[in-house]
Chain A
């Protein structure tokens, strides 16, 4: 089968750095995406890694290691507004645009 594993919850304080890990097991692999979702809102795209390495977008960075079937999202200089759920998602081989999501990590940022 296919599965993506993420921690269910992570807590941190404002200004800190937090890393959210994602390990995956899928029939195919075409890239790892990260989404942010605030309570009651729609998921919004954060980043995408198709190749190994680090992608940086402002305070957020995402890393991928295809040999380890592993990736992470790194959030720096945390702000209260970063409190949200974060989902990793993998494009697997069964459909070119078939996206499989993890169960999400709830990030709580405290003052």
Chain B
């Protein structure tokens, strides 16, 4: 089954404790992206990647890191989480091509930083 898989789905952590949210897709998509969703603010892009070893900042990259060593994986790293990073996080991927507006989303990871 074609899917984007995120882990963990739920996480409660404390300020400053490094964590990684993993994202994996099995559709051989070149493009992957991370979004955070907060009430009233919609989905805001954190980082995106056009292909292996190619990443770029989105609109809200501060406090986050990403890596793209393999095509299928795009982990989101919070080196020193803070309470303002409490949010619902979505990973998404998309096939290549100029005429596609479709993103395939993972089920989301709800992160609480105390």
Chain A residues closer than 8 Å to B100, beta-carbon distance: 48
Closest chain-A Cβ to B66's Cβ sits at a distance in Å of 14
B50→A97 contact, CB < 8 A: yes
A43 at the interface (CB under 8 A from B): yes
| A76 in contact (CB, < 8 A) | no
Q: What are 29 sample pairs from A and B whose C-beta atoms fall under 8 A apart?
A: A30-B98, A31-B99, A32-B101, A33-B102, A33-B103, A41-B108, A42-B90, A42-B105, A43-B103, A48-B102, A49-B101, A50-B99, A87-B42, A87-B43, A89-B101, A95-B48, A95-B50, A97-B31, A97-B33, A97-B48, A97-B94, A98-B45, A98-B48, A99-B33, A99-B103, A100-B59, A101-B35, A101-B44, A103-B40
Shortest C-beta distance, A80 to chain B (Å), equals: 23
For chain A residues 38-91, which have a beta carbon within 8 Å of chain B?
41-45, 48-50, 87, 89, 91
The 4 lowest CB-CB distance pairs between A and B, nearest first, are: A48-B101, A33-B101, A103-B42, A42-B105
Interface check B56, CB cutoff 8 A: yes
> Please, which residues of chain A bring their CB within 8 A of the CB of B43?
43, 87, 89, 101
What is the bound-complex CA distance between A95 and B48, given in angstroms?
Answer: 9
How far apart are A108's CB and chain B's nearest CB, in angstroms? 17
